[in-house]
Amino acid sequence: MVARIARLLVVPLILAILVTGALVAAGRIVLPPRWDPFAPFDIVETPSFLTRFKFARARDDGDLCRAALTRGGIAFEPVPDRVTGEGCGFTDAVRTPTVGATRLASPVIVTCRVALSLAMLDRHALGAAARRHLGTPVTRIEHLGTYACRNINHAASGRRSRHATADAIDISGFQLADGRRLTLTADWSSADPGRAAFLRAVRDAACVWFDVTLSPDHNPLHYDHFHFDVGGGRACR
């Protein structure tokens, strides 16, 4: 009996979803942007169950990605596509002095999709983690670079690193509004629980917005930086 009622409900429900979807796609029903899967991606919007879909769509399309950065107030200049060697070069790259609203110690060239991932990390995790664990915001992010025509782990042979296509950034430290400074080298295993907890909160949040997030937990080569990249495999360590 219950199974029969369930069957009777399933068909109308699927039909209702399909009809509603068709009306939204045709523009006959206008949803608030946050609930509209086809609305332009908005970095500032509070994440919902649709955010992953909208983020992936914006991240994988250069025009949509640059439009999202502009809408989010992220300062950047487009960089012309470039091939610099075998397996090296970039498309849809930007030059930016910031990670979202937070300044970098020096400007970087990264693909737009890295810039968008950084902006999401900054907007939805960095400030909150700093206030919670350190009681003050982050004012500046220190890095070891982004684009570099090289192999993984600087090996003489083997696969190209995501750095070779400007799809990666190495972050080494954070300057805080109260003048304190954190580095991965000194603070990953800090005796100050707030410092260590902040760095782990950043690592965990980066795993949401990047495909690969590597911390000092990954291997000894990463003792002094976080490696964040997009476009390759998946890892969160």
Q: Binding marks (x or -) toward Zn ion, 197..236, rule CB under 5 A?
A: ------------------------------x---------
Sign, Cα dihedral of 178, 182, 187, 193: positive
Supply the minimum distance, in Å, between the C-beta of residue 85 and Zn ion.
Answer: 18
Per CB under 5 A, the list member of 142, 167, 170, 187 interacting with Zn ion is: 170
Supply the minimum distance, in Å, between the C-beta of residue 215 and Zn ion.
Answer: 11
Alpha helices in 30-122 (DSSP H): 51-59, 62-71, 112-121
Segment lying near Zn ion (by CB under 5 A), choices 35-43, 52-60, 90-98, 160-168:
160-168
Sign, Cα dihedral of 48, 74, 93, 141: negative
- Does position 167 interact with Zn ion (CB under 5 A)? The reply is no
Residue nearest to Zn ion (CB): 227
Composition of the chain by helix, strand, coil, percent to 5: 40, 25, 35
| Nearest-angstrom CA–CA distance, 25 and 12 | 20
Closer residue to Zn ion in complex, CB, 170/211: 170
Which residues sit at the interface with Zn ion, rule CB under 5 A? 168, 170, 227
